[in-house]
Amino acid sequence: MDLPVDEWKAYVLQKWSLLPKSAQVAVSTAETLSEIFFHSSSFLQSEDEKFLKRLSQGYLVGKDPKAPCFYREEGNKKFQEKNYSEAAVLYSKGVSHSRPNTEDISLCYANRSAALFRLGQYETCLNDIIRALTHGYPERLRPKLLLRKAECLVTLRRLKEASQTISDLESNFTAKPSPAASPFQILQENLCCLKMKIQGKENLPETFPMTLTKDFEGVDLTEENEEISSASSSVCLCTDPLKGRCLIATKDIVPGELLVKEDAFVSVLNPGKMPPLPQGLESRWDTRVTNGDLYCHKCLQHTLAMVPCHGCSYAKYCSQECMQQAWELYHSIECSLGGLLLTLGVFCHVALRLTLLARFEDVHKVVRRICDEINNKDVCLPESKSLVETFNYCQGEREEIGEVVQTQIPGCNLNGKYENNYNAVFSLLAHTENHSPEHKFLCALSVSALCRQLEAASPPALTTGLKAAVTPELCADLNVWAVAMLRHLLQLQCNAQAITTIQHTGSKESMIADSGQVRLATGIFPVVSLLNHSCSPNTSVSFTGTVATIRAAQQIKKGQEIFHCYGPHESRMSGAERQQKLRSQYFFDCSCPACHCEEPRAAAGPRWEAFRCNSCRALLQGDDVLSCGNRACPESISRNHLASQVQDLQQQVEMGWKLLRNGKLEQAIMWLLRCREDAESFLSAEHAVVGEIEDHLARAYAALGDWKKSATHLQKSLQVVEVHHGSSSVEMGHELFKLAQVLFNGGRNPVSTVNADESLSPRQITFAIRVHTAEKLFQCDEDLQCPKL
């Protein structure tokens, strides 16, 4: 996913093991990136490129002229099953394989518009109708499509446009009389019904403004920082002798305050891991749904109505505008390399895109720095005349120890401002000396193979769009850009951010919906990267598309450092586990208060895995044999026996969950209550399985409309989640969001989600939107708490 596919990694590592010892030493002892690249790339042979090409051909990224018909038929099957979302995705796959201005693409757009209409996405449906007509939708089928257009316009209360469309349809029917029993008669009958709808809706009031959906997500920084782009004036950029750059509070900060709101300088959609395809037709045409089918490859907006690249079937966008922007910025070069980039991994793709975007900035100094390194000259930090204060940190407190001194902060421009630009990205540490020789060899060989493909595909590609400050002769040398790409590839291990989102599962027909966090993309955020790690952070990070938002999770005093978590969190890992993770991936030992003050965990394990005595209810303690913590109680039991009981209970809970998903609510409740009774006999009240049972019961009672009981069980689940994951974790955020929904729904119709189509007051709608957005404030992940990778 991040790194190349396993086959290429294994191939390169075997190649490394067969290199002469002198060659391995040369790579291992190389002091500059240019030396690493030149030593490694000299070993890339034609057979290596052929092997990589075979791997790349396993990805279907070109346009197959036979695919649109297949996907349209598969989409029709889902449509008949009333699975309109999957039908829309399959039609989109057909669109992505179609050439512009063909019947194939027009039919796929038209069919997708029907699915979108059934899903109530009328504006998007209209867009697809327009696309179908633009690409030459067959004349014989147009009346049905225009009738759908009129229905959308009526629903959207665009009555004047609807009347005009209906008038055009009537003219069409008059000009082409048809037999009474034909489908045209059915269309005419539907047309009459539609005209009656227009007459009935002419005096209806306008719907409540949907701008309220942006009332919380669209919050901007109240006062932007003059020295750090995308940051509030509540923080400043400083340097620490040990930690390097860091953000410090310039005033007392209250919980929830917005500190950073930054758009990714670069982001690449995560294709996700897919199991091997079965043999046969589907080995060519995949019907499974991935993130690439649901999210715009440019802005990461969720959509069922993708607009494809005209040159490949992989890149898809939410609009023509995003497609055009991506083409101009980078995709015109990436388009023919889709299979290779999927093989080499997301990090290599990000590294290439970063280098391509450098063309659109004044990169003269950056290129000069790369060339200086190639020529074994010292690479200087960016010229900056900003003033910073040096601070000494003692037990988490900031104390000023010296006078303000003049220094240079990497990434700042001549005026001392740190911006979201290529210069800031280039200044991020690559930690070249800390990466293993094998990893550097893998990265360098991958970059070398990519550059050879770039050179073969379009030699002048990288020079196009460069400003006059950079001479074509200089940039035509791909070695310059190869070294830059290698630098970025090594930077990403410590500086890449996992962009996450909440994905909902279950159809509208299902009584039980579920949601979970997924990793959507990998991005580079120069300002967010300034934050240092803490295992107990004082901020939370969330994402809306490509925009990262950092808010204070607790009160932060003036002068304190702003922290977030790179992944290892005190509520999820022991101190030893966290230190090992941080040392192996980020190359430092953590000295945050959570690590400094942590006490060794009891032998009985964490509280969410604890057992209790069946006799006196006290917690059990011990290793292989557990004894009651109550000295007056003689009970003891083997851990293996208890583990077996847990497995049996988990199977029973799973059966209750299946009953719940199948809509057998009363049976599910009775089953789960028995499970809870069994759990109480030997599990602690904070055990993870107990929390799972309480959550399932809350869902069941919510589906029945018993909001009071649902809230009671959900509050018990909350207690377990807080102990297990922490008060500001994504899991806690999910539970709080569900509890808010239950409490909100308790005063109205028993539905599981807020439905904007119901008759709600503006106040209710506003509250519902705020509750929904609150979920995003907790978006972190067990491995991506920061969410750094």
The pLDDT tens digits for 328-370 are: 999 999 999 999 999 999 999 999 999 988 876 655 555 565 5
Token pair listed for 399: 């104390």
How far apart CA 326 and CA 298 sit, in angstroms, is 6
- Secondary element (H or E) of residue 54: helix 46-56
- Mean pLDDT of the 179-189 span: 51
Beta strand pairing call for 387-388 and 405-406:
antiparallel
Q: Could you tell me the pLDDT band of residue 1, with boundaries at 50, 70 and 90?
A: low
How far apart CA 638 and CA 88 sit, in angstroms, is 54
Which of 27, 543, 88 is CA-nearest to residue 289?
88
* Location of structure tokens 């989600």: 753
- Mean pLDDT of the 417-428 span: 91
How much is the pLDDT for 127?
Answer: 95
How far apart CA 346 and CA 264 sit, in angstroms, is 15
Q: Could you tell me the pLDDT band of residue 765, with boundaries at 50, 70 and 90?
A: very low
Most confident of the ranges 141-150, 487-496, 678-687: 487-496
Q: Could you tell me the pLDDT band of residue 778, with boundaries at 50, 70 and 90?
A: very low
**Single-letter amino acid code for the residue at 633:** C
Q: Could you tell me the pLDDT band of residue 775, with boundaries at 50, 70 and 90?
A: very low
How much is the pLDDT for 155?
Answer: 85
Length of the chain counted residue by residue: 789
Which three-class secondary structure string do you get for 252-317?
CECCCCEEEEEECCEEEECCCCCCCCCCCHHHCCCCCCCHHHHECCCCCCECCCCEECCCCCCCEE
DSSP, res 469: T
**Of 418 and 757, which is predicted with more confidence?**
418
- Please tell me the least confidently modeled range out of 113-117, 204-208, 487-491: 204-208
- Mean pLDDT of the 698-709 span: 88
Which three-class secondary structure string do you get for 676-737?
HHHHHCCECCCCHHHHHHHHHHHHHHHHHCCHHHHHHHHHHHHHHHHHHHCCCCHHHHHHHH
Q: Which residues of 682-707 are buried (b: 16+ CB within 10 A; e: fewer)?
A: bbbbbbbbbbbbbbbbbbbbbbeebb
- Mean pLDDT of the 155-159 span: 85
**Of 188 and 635, which is predicted with more confidence?**
635
Q: Could you tell me the pLDDT band of residue 676, with boundaries at 50, 70 and 90?
A: very high
* Location of structure tokens 């305050």: 257
What residue ranges define each of the domains in the chain, with the CATH number in brackets?
Answer: 235-264+525-597 (2.170.270.10), 616-777 (1.25.40.10)
**Of 308 and 774, which is predicted with more confidence?**
308
How far apart CA 364 and CA 373 sit, in angstroms, is 14
How much is the pLDDT for 516?
Answer: 66
- Please tell me the least confidently modeled range out of 297-301, 416-420, 592-596, 746-750: 746-750
From residue 45, how far is each of 50, 60, 215, 316, 438 by CA, in Å? 9, 25, 57, 34, 18
Q: Evaluate if residue 198 carries a pLDDT over 80.
A: no
- Secondary element (H or E) of residue 405: strand 405-406
How much is the pLDDT for 108?
Answer: 97
Please write the tens of the pLDDT for every residue from 491-528: 999 999 999 887 765 544 444 455 667 889 999 999 99
How far apart CA 57 and CA 764 sit, in angstroms, is 53
Which three-class secondary structure string do you get for 552-602?
ECCCECCCCECEECCCCCCCCCCHHHHHHHHHHHHCCCCCCHHHHHCCCCC
Which of 562, 524, 267, 499 is CA-nearest to residue 411?
524
The percentage of residues in the chain with a pLDDT greater than 90, rounded to a whole number, is 45
Q: Which residues pair with 449 in a beta bridge?
A: none
- Mean of the per-residue pLDDT values of the chain: 79
Q: 787: cis peptide before it, omega within 30°?
A: yes
Please write the tens of the pLDDT for every residue from 724-745: 777 766 667 777 777 887 887 7
**Of 634 and 590, which is predicted with more confidence?**
590
How much is the pLDDT for 166?
Answer: 79
Which of 693, 701, 700, 682 is CA-nearest to residue 717?
693
The percentage of residues in the chain with a pLDDT greater than 70, rounded to a whole number, is 74
Which of 93, 92, 88 is CA-nearest to residue 78?
88
